[in-house]
């Protein structure tokens, strides 16, 4: 793909992600409903901030001779946001009368558009080299830390960002099983990510 078009693609979705986060914050502030410690404890919010920043940095790096150095970060951001999209579709989207974001459009952006855009970006702008097995394992560290943080913090403040990670209703065993399943799915996605782009590049 043309470098300028690719940079424009990355910049557009990077700004779109950031604008949705800002919109959420400003709307919650206006309603007097913003609790920063809770808001930024959502994996959705953390991942969208991360991937939006990576989109913008990646756009700039297209014009740098050292652009391959960001591929590891791009991979992590892509993995996390894809997990957000798939996790939302499987575990949350079917909850009736649930309001996931303060602004309805932001729900579409953060849970659908950005995950799809990041996955497409990984395919149309594949890494220069295949990710090492060790790198895939490193990518999994952040989700493990997040799950631990959420369970520990939740027990302290009596608040959990997602119902499927809330042991008050289902118990810790169910929560841990759910986390384990999500972890296996995430690891599977990570392995696929290290394979598909290079296969596509080899055929082009």
To the nearest whole number, what is the mean pLDDT of the chain? Answer: 91
Phi, psi dihedrals of residue 69, rounded to the nearest 5°: -65, -20
Enter the tokens of residue 57: 């940095």
- Collapsing DSSP to helix, strand or coil, 101 comes out as coil
Q: How far apart are CA 98 and CA 111, in angstroms?
A: 14
- Confidence bin at 201 (pLDDT 50/70/90): low
Output the pLDDT for position 200. 54
172 Cβ neighbours under 8 A, 6+ residues apart:
151
- Confidence bin at 15 (pLDDT 50/70/90): very high
Cβ pair 78, 10 in contact under 8 A: no
Summarize pLDDT for 71-125 with one digit per residue, the tens.
999 999 999 999 999 999 999 988 877 788 999 999 999 999 999 999 999 999 9
Query: How many CB atoms within 10 Å of residue 92?
Result: 15
């Amino acid at each position: 793909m043309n470098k300028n078009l690719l940079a424009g693609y990355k910049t557009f979705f990077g700004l779109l992600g950031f604008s949705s986060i800002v919109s959420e914050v400003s709307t919650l502030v206006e309603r007097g409903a913003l609790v920063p410690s809770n808001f930024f404890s959502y994996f959705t919010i953390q991942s969208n901030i991360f991937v939006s920043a990576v989109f913008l940095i990646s756009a700039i790096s297209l014009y740098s001779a050292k652009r391959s150095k960001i591929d590891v970060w791009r991979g992590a951001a892509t993995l996390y946001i894809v997990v957000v999209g798939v996790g939302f579709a499987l575990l949350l989207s079917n909850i009736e009368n649930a309001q996931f974001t303060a602004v309805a459009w932001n729900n579409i952006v953060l849970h659908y558009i950005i995950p799809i855009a990041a996955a497409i970006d990984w395919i149309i702008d594949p890494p220069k080299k295949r990710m090492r097995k060790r790198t895939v394992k490193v990518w999994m560290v952040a989700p493990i830390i997040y799950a631990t943080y959420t369970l520990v913090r939740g027990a302290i403040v009596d608040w959990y960002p997602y119902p499927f990670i809330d042991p008050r209703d289902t118990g810790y065993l169910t929560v841990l099983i759910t986390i384990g399943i999500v972890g296996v799915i995430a690891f599977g996605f990570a392995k696929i990510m290290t394979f598909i782009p290079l296969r596509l590049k080899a055929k082009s």
